[in-house]
Structure 1
Amino acid sequence: MALEQDIANLIQSTDALTAVVDNKAQQLDNQMAAFDTRIAKKEQDVDKFIQEAMPETRYVQDIFIGGSKDYFYPVWWTMPGNAAGVSKLTIARQYSWNSDTQPLNTTSPHQAALLLELEGNATAWHGDSNFLHVKRFHERYNPTVSHASFSMYCKREKADSSLDLYGGGEEGAFGAFCATHSGVYLRGGGLKYRIIKNWKGDVWFHDGSDQERRNLYARSWDNWTVRWYAEPIPFAERLAPTLSSIPYANHPYTPPTA
């Protein structure tokens, strides 16, 4: 009888212990659920803070320019007008990008660092503010950028041989001529660049797959005609960006009267 009583007591104790464990497990499940809720709330708070701290949307476009490291290749865009406010565009490179192929420094991961921050508005043929301002410019290890301009540096020719060349001068001349695009020239050879903007739309670029020209824009009107086109620029002809507190300094055009 004593043995049977001991067994009954043991069973009763085991049942009691099991009930305690089940209760603690339920409490732990409840606490974990509460933690999950709190974590989810904190994540929402963080996301909201980031959105409020950086309300302006950033549009990122990575480009790769092959070709020769001894040339700069054209990159061009059209910034929105006054309705979009001030348009911002940054061209950047982390110093070690492309260190696997080492197109510029063959004995070091330090290839080329670039930060070119631009602000602007519209184009020379647009009726709004019309400017490009070089706000920040930093290069390290190797030069990578040339000929930053509100009116894209390019060449021009007649789109219609029977009309006068818009702006006058000789066909094939090189200068800050393009009235529909702003732009820069970026070094080739196998380099990655990152374009960061606050407006939608891609930036156009010459990928270095050949050394041929790229047509930018063509138009004929009444008695004048023009086609603007851009070609790779030799490294020896590099023109580095210039910081300026005068955003209108690079605004050479007057809109056509026609």
Structure 2
Amino acid sequence: MALEQDIANLVESTNQLTSVIDNKAKTIDAKMAQLDNRVAAKEAQVDQFIQDATPETRYEQTITIGGSKDYLYPVWWRFPGNEEGVSKLTVSRHYSWNNNTKPLNPASGHQAGLLLQLEGNAYAWNGDSNFMNIKRFYERYNNTVSHVDFRLNCKAEKIDSSKDFYGGGEDGTLGPWHCTYSGLYLRGGGLTYRITKNWKGDVAFHDGSDMDRRNTYESSQANWTVRWFVEPIPFTERKAPIANTIPYVNHPYTPPTPTAAQ
């Protein structure tokens, strides 16, 4: 009988110990779950911090404008539309770039500093927001940029003389006639510039290898016709940018609405 009682006591003790262990295990599981939740929350905070701290992707294009320092050469591009939000483009150069050839200041390494920061969206014939703001503009030692406009300053001509002329500039004058590109003009003479954007794709530019025109767009519709082209212009015709965050402040011209798809 004593042996049976001892066995019964041992079983009871074992059951009690098992219950204690089960309770401890449940407590540990609950603590681990709390810890997992806290770790997950911290990981989410870290991920958000990294996302917020990561700078916007930048696409750089370095260009050299040859030709003559006494001429300005066209540069043109098309901002993405609303699907990309506000697009950014900066044209810059360090003041000492090209100090080996010294095209502007023969006696100094200080050639020309430039920082031109633009924001924009789409182009004149697009159905999206369609604007360009000059956010910042800074030049030092020598002037290098001109004719900054949401509508690329260009010249125009008819393709078909029997049709009406579209837009302005039929007299051959330089003006903001272009409805598919934005643009500006940069000083030549072998100067180096850096284009920094937040969207993919290079800007187009006249490299100054000749003085020939570059045809940029042409169309001949049922009732109208036009060809837009750009070419170097004398530096004496320079028009300095006006930094202003008001849309269209530097481009008041509004073209008529096309009567057919471009």
Per the TM superposition, whether the score is higher than 0.5 is: yes
Separation of aligned partners in 2, 1:177 and 1:85: 25
Separation of aligned partners in 2, 1:236 and 1:197: 29
Deviation of 1:51 after TM superposition, in Å, equals 6.8
In the alignment, is residue 92 of structure 1 matched against residue 92 of structure 2? yes
Deviation of 1:176 after TM superposition, in Å, equals 0.5
In the other structure, the counterpart of 1:132 is 132
Separation of aligned partners in 1, 2:130 and 2:204: 20
Cα root mean square deviation, aligned? 1.7
Q: Percent identity?
A: 66
Letter in 2 for 1:68: S
CA separation of 1:168/1:189 partners in 2, compared to 1, >3 Å: closer, same or farther?
A: closer
In the alignment, is residue 253 of structure 1 matched against residue 254 of structure 2? yes
1:163-182 to structure 2, matched below 5 A, reads 163-167=163-167, 170-182=170-182
In the other structure, the counterpart of 1:144 is 144
Deviation of 1:55 after TM superposition, in Å, equals 3.5
Contact 2:65 2:208 in 1 (8 A): yes
- Number of corresponding residues: 211
In the other structure, the counterpart of 1:31 is none
CA separation of 1:62/1:163 partners in 2, compared to 1, >3 Å: closer, same or farther?
A: same
Deviation of 1:128 after TM superposition, in Å, equals 0.6
Deviation of 1:222 after TM superposition, in Å, equals 1.1
SS of residue matched to 1:176: coil
Contact 2:155 2:169 in 1 (8 A): no
CA shift digits 1:188-225 (9 cap, x unpaired): 00100000000111100000001111111111111101
Contact 1:158 1:171 in 2 (8 A): no
Letter in 1 for 2:248: Y
CA separation of 1:71/1:169 partners in 2, compared to 1, >3 Å: closer, same or farther?
A: closer
Contact 2:131 2:150 in 1 (8 A): yes
SS of residue matched to 2:115: strand
In the alignment, is residue 241 of structure 1 matched against residue 241 of structure 2? yes
Letter in 1 for 2:125: W
Deviation of 1:131 after TM superposition, in Å, equals 0.7
Contact 2:169 2:175 in 1 (8 A): no
Deviation of 1:238 after TM superposition, in Å, equals 0.4
CA separation of 1:107/1:157 partners in 2, compared to 1, >3 Å: closer, same or farther?
A: same
Letter in 1 for 2:203: V
Contact 1:151 1:251 in 2 (8 A): no
CA shift digits 1:72-105 (9 cap, x unpaired): 0000000011110001000000000000010100
Contact 1:150 1:251 in 2 (8 A): no
In the other structure, the counterpart of 1:33 is none
In the other structure, the counterpart of 1:105 is 105
Pair member with larger Rg: 2
In the alignment, is residue 225 of structure 1 matched against residue 225 of structure 2? yes
Separation of aligned partners in 1, 2:252 and 2:59: 26
Contact 1:67 1:190 in 2 (8 A): yes
Separation of aligned partners in 2, 1:49 and 1:94: 33
Contact 2:89 2:196 in 1 (8 A): yes
Deviation of 1:168 after TM superposition, in Å, equals 5.2
TM-score of the superposition, structure 2-length normalised? Answer: 0.77
Contact 2:86 2:120 in 1 (8 A): yes
SS of residue matched to 1:83: helix
In the alignment, is residue 214 of structure 1 matched against residue 214 of structure 2? yes
TM-score of the superposition, structure 1-length normalised? Answer: 0.78
In the alignment, is residue 155 of structure 1 matched against residue 155 of structure 2? yes
SS of residue matched to 1:199: coil
Separation of aligned partners in 2, 1:55 and 1:134: 22
Separation of aligned partners in 2, 1:188 and 1:50: 42
Separation of aligned partners in 2, 1:194 and 1:125: 28
